[in-house]
Each structure stands twice: as structure tokens, then as C-alpha cells.
Amino acid sequence: MDKNISELVPLPPITIVGAGGIGCSLAATIHHSGHPVKLVEVCQRKIMWAQDNGIQVTGFPAQQIPIESFDNWNPSQLELAIICLKCYNNKCLFHKNLNWEQSITIQNGFADSILHLARKGEGIASYIAECAPGKTQVRITRGGKLHLGTYLGNEGYLAVYRQLSRLIRIPSVRTEVTSNITKFKYTKFLYNCAISPLASGCGVDNGQLLANPRIRPLFLELLRENLGIMASAGIELGKVGPFEPKTVVAILRNPWVTNLLAGWFQRSLDKTYCSMACDWSTGETELEDYLGHLIRLAGKHPCPLNRVLYDWCRDRLSRKMPPSMDLADLLQKIMPRIPN
């Protein structure tokens, strides 16, 4: 796509698939900007609530935005689809006549099932938007960025992302367009792999990763191990948040600096839960899209904590057993055997 020509072509109507925190926040800002947008959702209870109460997102008035059932959705080949589903739900898209050439995924983790389809680019959301169960009521609990971009060597679609970025004005969220979305995806992935399985497996909120003295050393060691995997695989990382990943680990490994900053980080994460925690009781989570992909990426590179964490969570989920602090005890037992 020629950049100069595509800058002149207006964006088509937008369909957002998934009325969760990210999906609703995007729908709210795009609708507020005056561009045609609709939501597609599988939960009938949420659809009915939206029709009665509108889409309610921090920083915007309640808005009546069109929302329809996923089962009834017949994708147009002209619409721009923004996929805000969890990775394990992507399988439902294969039954739709979706134009993957004109779709954007905004997801955590690596969905191997669609990596060969969604090749234009994607979005990476590093802000936290919590959606109330069964409602389209969203609270932005932590600001951040929304990176929109293409993969290296596929820059022709950048103009579309620039046009889209002009519609997105979410309070406390900055939108940035990049020609190398991969480095931001892997950085978010690095954090997700350290946060989600550990917090959800132990049954604690995200703030406890820094506040709980039993869990904090494990969280820091997982971050260090994940950085080692990325370095071994030769993966370039970007900056998601105020610091580079290596700087984050260095800061948090210094006891007095950690104590100084832990309170601030904890307050921003307190009472927030990762998506895996919300799904734990169902037995179906993003574990495979996080740790499964990370371990395959590691290959022969040592990742003992991640392997034990993955096996424990997979076993627990398969038997639909609740989270337990036994996970922290198990990981602590292998910590002394990990070489520095």
C-alpha cells in the first residue's frame, strides 16, 4: 500500500470484537471521535446490559454504541476489525469470513494459531482497563500506552495505524505508531509471563507480587529468567512503561531501591487482577499463549522456574483446582539451585 495514497483514503467503519476492558475503551474513544464503530460480543448478559446502560468507560460519558451478538455477526470485507479476544478464543474466528488483511489484533501472549494469518501488524496495550463482569462498565486503573504498528519489512500499512491513532484519545493513555511492533509485543509478553501465572496461581492480586515477601523474590527471578531467554533468542525489546526491562530488573533487585519504589508500584497494581486470574475457575486460560510459547522460545536455554510454574499451573487447571500459595513454596524450593 502506497503511503501517500493510503493517507488520503478514509478509514472504513470499525468493528471491535470483544467487549472487555480494552475493547470497550477503544469503542468509547472511537465513537466519541465521531467515527462509525460497533462492538461484537458473545456474552448475552453483557449485550443486554450495554443496550440498557450504554458503554461506560472512565473519562467518557455513557454512550449508546451499537453492539451485536458474535453468533449473528457477519463480517464485512470492507470493515476494519479490531480483535480484542483472549488468545484461546481465537478459534471461534475461523468460522467467520473475516478479512485478515484488514484486521488488527490487540492481545496478550502469542496465539500460534493465527500468527500466519495476522501478518500486517497489531496493537499492544500497556494500560489496564478493568471490565465489570457481565457489564460494559470499564475502569481505567492504570494509564500507559497503546502501541499500534507493523512488523519489520511491512511498513506499507503504517498509514492505517496513523489514521486510527488520531481517533484514540483515552485519558492517561498515549497512542504511539511504530514500524517494529514486535519489540513491544515481546516486552509486554516478558512481563505477562512473570505476572499472570504467578499471581493467578498463588491466588493474589498483582500488587502482592511486590508486597508479599514470599512472592517478590520469585517475581524478580522470573523477570531475570525471562530476560535471559529473550537475550538467548536474540530478541530486541522495547520500552513498555517508564523503564527498559533490564532497568526494571536492576532497580527491583536492589533492596533499598525496591523498598522505596515497591510502595508506588504496589499502589498502582493493588486490587488489580490479571486476565488469567479471572479465568482460573474455568480451567481455560492464556497459560499456553504465555508460558507455553516462552518455553518453546527458550529451547535449550535453562528456564527452571518457568518450567515448574508451567507444569504446576497446567496440572492445577486441568483438574480445576483452585489457586494456592503452595505454588510459592514449590518455587522457593528450587530457587537455591538456580545459578546466578
Domain final residue, candidates 179, 208, 243: 179
Sign of CA dihedral 326, 329, 334, 338: positive
Average pLDDT for residues 126-142, to the nearest whole number? 92
Residues 271, 200: one domain?
yes
- What is the tens place of the pLDDT at every residue in 64-81? 999 999 999 999 988 999
Counted residue by residue, the chain has a size of 340
Residues 155, 275: one domain?
no
Residues 138, 260: one domain?
no
pTM here?
0.89
pLDDT of residue 140: 93
Give the CA diameter of the chain.
Answer: 60
pLDDT of 90 strictly over 80: yes
- What is the tens place of the pLDDT at every residue in 292-318? 999 999 999 999 999 999 999 999 999
Residues 43, 136: one domain?
yes
Q: CB atoms < 10 A from the CB of 153, how many?
A: 8
Query: CA-CA distance, 245 to 263, in Å (whole number)?
Result: 19
Residues 22, 135: one domain?
yes
pLDDT of residue 16: 98
- 8 A C-beta contact, residue 141 and residue 122: no
Inside any domain, residue 5: no
Inside any domain, residue 6: no
Q: What is the gyration radius of the CA atoms in the chain, in angstroms? A: 20
pLDDT of 266 strictly over 60: no
Sign of CA dihedral 101, 103, 106, 112: negative
Domain final residue, candidates 123, 144, 179: 179
